[in-house]
Structure 1
Amino acid sequence: IYKDIHEKKQAEEKLKESEEQFRTITEQSLLGVAILQDEVYKYANKQFATIYGRSIDEILNLKPGEYMSLVHEDHKEYVSEQAKRKQLGLKDQTNQYEFKGIKKDGEVIWVEIFSKTIMFENKTADLILVTDITDKKRTEDMLKESEQKFRIMSEQSLLGIFIVQEEIFKYVNHQLAEITGYSIEEMLSWEPKVLYKKLIHPDYIHILMEQGAKKQRGDSDVIIHYQFKGIKKNGETFWADMYSKSIQFQGKTADLGTLIDITEKKIAEEKLIESKNNFEKIAEQNLVGLGILQDNKVKYINKKAAENFGTTREELLNMSFSEFSKFIHPSDLNMEIEFIKETLSNPEKIIEYQGRAIKSSGEITWNDVMIKQIQYEQKPALLGIFRDITEKKKAEERLKESEEKFRTIAEQTFIGLAVIQDGRFKYVNQTFADTIGYTTKEILNWKSDKYLDFIHPDDKEYVLERTKKIFIDKNSSISQNSFRVYKKSGEIIWIETNAKIINYEGMPALIIAQMDITEKKLAQEILLRSEKKYREAYERENFYKDLFAHDMNNILQGILTSLELCALTIKNTEKPGNILEMLNIIREQMNRGSDLVNNVRMFSEIESSKPTLKELNIIEVLKEALKVVEKSSLQKEQKIKIETSKDSVLVQGDQFLLNAFENLIHNSVKHNDKSIIEIFLRTSILSKDAQEYLKIEFIDNARGIPDSKKESIFNRGFKEDKSVSGMGLGLSLVKKILDRYDAKIWVEDRIPGDHSKGSNFIILYPLLN
């Protein structure tokens, strides 16, 4: 028993010692360490708590399952699954993974986890090692972004760009493919070192292979810049100027190179050398001054150059530079000395500048100067080319003075002035800016063609078309071009512009003069509306005059004829005739006159009033119209039937709706020659273009309407037909009333193809939503 107790004590002491060592190691560890058991943290070191922005107590006091509050929503499901598997000691565990965590203050961090199942206090638990990899993730994102930017710049570059690693192309851009004639896919598929055989002229293969190998190894003793002769896919040779250096690419050293095709430049240089022997002969006949400076002395100068300096060739030849400097303006001397030094130190350098010279007479002249290092008599020398631009300079000064005057006038004028070149504003005066509500600085900073945004969409095509014409015919101009624009505030104004092509800073440009004519436009619109109202009133008056003159004459003539027949009948006692029938004719003519007056009155009222619509039950209105017609038409037997599935259908309408239905039904009665008048009204609901309509059919057995008149019977208004007759006025009035409600009306044959059997007048009336 004593032995067992002793061994147990030793085991406990070893366990305690082991735990102390574990705590000592973990408390000093740079890794966060925690033990998760039964969905709670049983242990956490300080680094673990620090990573999540909490204290150790806060970590250990989390309730079961609350450990997931440390995990971002995007990764909770995965992390929870892994934690449960390890706490239970299940297989198929992932021991290392990354996820987004949440600090106490809500900051999102990235962590990397190393975890596994362990035995802790005689139960399985999840041992977790965690490290904050937020900075690493940001670096990876930045690297990815940098690579994307490199590819974007590379694909748009005028330089051929490549990366060589392990003697094969890892990357080539489109421009390199253009230069060599190979496709990108071809070059990326080449075996090691094939690129040298395919692209490099034999004279340069050795040096390029040697330099390429060094840069792929990362050696320091390399040549960064050189020129070589290459071979295109079609066998044609070309010259290239190349820069290359060692870089790290996908974790390995590689050679990054950029090159540009300088074949034309090389050809030009060769031609220059070839023409050296004839140089002096050509130089003496040249219209520009030529001179050669070598060993600090004037070795050659042509007659034209000597004239530029107001002296002779003989005086200048073999003159030292210090003596020659008296012909250079003192303010330009230091600049020219620096240019000479720069050119002599760089054989490829060509420098162009403008400088002042002082002639022997003291006159100051301006020259365009180009200097370049050449080989003269097998030694380096400086070639100078001089062209007198004194008159050009004076003209520029005059132009500058003229521009200053223009700006002075432009800034004080009440007319907006602007110059547009290459789609951008190059100049705007204050008046132009004030007109559209922007500052001059804002307008000048607009990107190319941004000015199109302030033109009203309905006028943009018109403005572009007119502008395009003057760019085609540069001698033409735009005068009194009126269109709408948006001010910065969003307000729409009218402007009137005059435009012309000018030469601005050596290039074609569009000069625009503009004025705000909004008030003028408004005045014109008011005048036009006034003229339109007067014209409509005049035409309406003529319409009513023609109507009464024509139809009332017909009605009165019918009454007069009937009265004369009555008088004759009464006198003729032998043939008394049917006086009652004649009186009925008179009554009918009187009714026609009454209808005519009512319809004209209603036309006038509709023309002069604006619709004031209200909610109506259209079925009730329809039934009321039937009652009115039935009471007023008793001469013939009538069979009128209405079929409707609903007693109440709500629409928007007004007091004229009843008149429309009465006119339509009365029309079927009035123009019916049958002994029995049949009228059938049918309603139904239908949908069309997401709108519900009530379809109303007025079906009669009247004389019908031929196809040739099915449209014209609704169009006999005062504008469409001056030769009116009252017969069609009722239907014209019906259509005019229905137009107020956005309702449609048309007529079909009751029996398709046979108009003589009667008509079907159809109305589509929009329902309330």
Structure 2
Amino acid sequence: MAMDQAVLAGNSKYRKYYPVILGLTLAIVIFLAVYVNVILGIEVVYTHLFYIPIILAGIFYHRKAVYVALALGVLHIFLSFAADGMMPYESFLRAIIFVATAYLVGTISARKDLLYDRLRASEDSLRRMRDTLELQVRERTRQLSSVNESLQNEIAERNRAEKSLMLARFSIDRAADFIAWIKSDGSLNYVNDALCRATGYTRDEMLVMKAWDIEPETLKEKWPEIWQSLKESGSCHAESTLRTRDGRLIPVAIMNNYLQFRGEEYNCAYIRDITKRKLAENALKKSRTILARAQKIAHVGNLAWDLKTDGMQWSDEVYRIFGYEPGALLPTKDMVLSSVFAEDHELVSRAFDAAVRENRLFDIDFRIVARDGSLRYVNCVADRLARDPAGNPAWIYGIIQDITKRKLAETELQDAKAQAELYLDLMSHDINNMNQIGIGYLELVLSRGDLSDETRALLNKPLEALESSSRLIRNVTSLQRAREGGFCAARMNVRGVIGDVLPRYAGVSGRDIRFEFNGCDCFVMANDLLFDVFSNIIGNAIKHSSGPLAININVERVLEDGKAYCLISVADNGPGIPDRIKGQLFVRFQRGATQATGRGLGLYLVKTLVDDYHGTVWAEDRVPGDHTQGAKFVIMLPAVE
């Protein structure tokens, strides 16, 4: 049916081309017939081609095709006459067949189109009926869908309600907290699993018990009064204890809720085990006690300052610092300012004002006059600012420490430091000047050529002692200046500094000292005390040896972990340093196991200065594994361009 509709639609669509198609076909077949039979004179019958336009005319125009057949029949008779000079009966017969064919095809085509029209009308009727039925079906389907959706919603709602009810029951049964429903007569109507596990009773055992059977603080004779109070308030919170089967008491927090359900009165009690909280509270109380004790020992207390009211909260120790018993008064900002020593009042006022106006925290030392009139030094640190929900400063938190003893100790330390500096000045100037005078006279005497060897040896002893004394004074002075930062770092050539040191030891009296100095220019960031580093190492090598001595000094630039260093080695062929002593050489007042004497500051000064230069120094054997072949000191300093 669909195909027929497509054909009909196609016929209707291409109807305007019928005359063109029929005309072209007539022209072609007539041309062929005339050309072959008349012009060429060939007696071949081409008139059977006339059936093509006859059939097309019958299909296109139904019985009107007879006119085309008559025209073609006449043409056929004419062509036969033109070719043979006569009109045979076969020509008339073929013309009649043309007409009969046109009539037959036209009739069949008309019948076909009539059937198509009827079919189209039937299809239209069926389509209207189908549309009507579809509309009715859709309407009925919509109604059924609405009913079905309503039923499904009801079923889903019931399922949700059942699921919620089951979930609620499951949640209550499996809840970590204890839950109990208690009737107005005190009997237990429901208990969950957690309560059963905690008390050690089964659910059946508990459902025949009363509230006072498991809560010893609830007295049976007081129950009516308790129930009436709950009924009036609707809910209440309380802390109590539950007694287990084995007699243990569990601390609990209970939230009681009065409910009515289907004419019955219930208390829905949510109960939480607070054992851990109680332990934590006890631990907190203990910690607070310990903290208070520690603050008392350390004379440190904490405070909170309310910026809106200027009121303060103090720990117990702050009260004691100000000379009061804990809790004896309500502290305020004005009360604190009134206790400040007059000379420090402006300092404290500025710090407090800056905290309020600029939200600036502070760390200040000042003096207060305690309640008993004693003067105390305190350190007050405001280290945290808290804001209210609107973002405005609300509280400042901090600590106060009684630093009276520390201040007195600092004063005593300053006095001791001043006294030590006086002694140091005395040593570095007066005593050292006297040493230099003695050294000068001894060297003058030793320069005489008429002295015996015994006399010369005796004179060398005090000369060495004076030189050691001068060296000690020089080391102490250098160490003091290094610790006080008396020198500024600058770019220095290590090779040049060592070159300045060597002349000092080139002519040691009575010794054959030979130096071998190799190396390149290598620059480091140091100060004038770099001279003392190499002077002490070379001086120690000479002092802790006897007889001829060879000292080999090498300077090279090396890379370690991608960084450039100046590596300086000072090796001698003296008595060497045992392994057990190497690790103690750079400790203050440690000396090698030699007969030479000293005060142990030389190598300590070396270590101190090298550390200041961010370098390292160590001692090793000149010949690895044999310390008797001499010692080797190695210094590594960061190199600069």
Q: TM above 0.5, one fold?
A: no
Q: Higher Cα Rg: structure 1 or 2?
A: 2
Q: TM-score, normalised by structure 2?
A: 0.40
Structure with the higher strand share, 1 or 2:
1
More helix by share: 2
What is the TM-score of this pair, normalised by structure 1?
Answer: 0.34
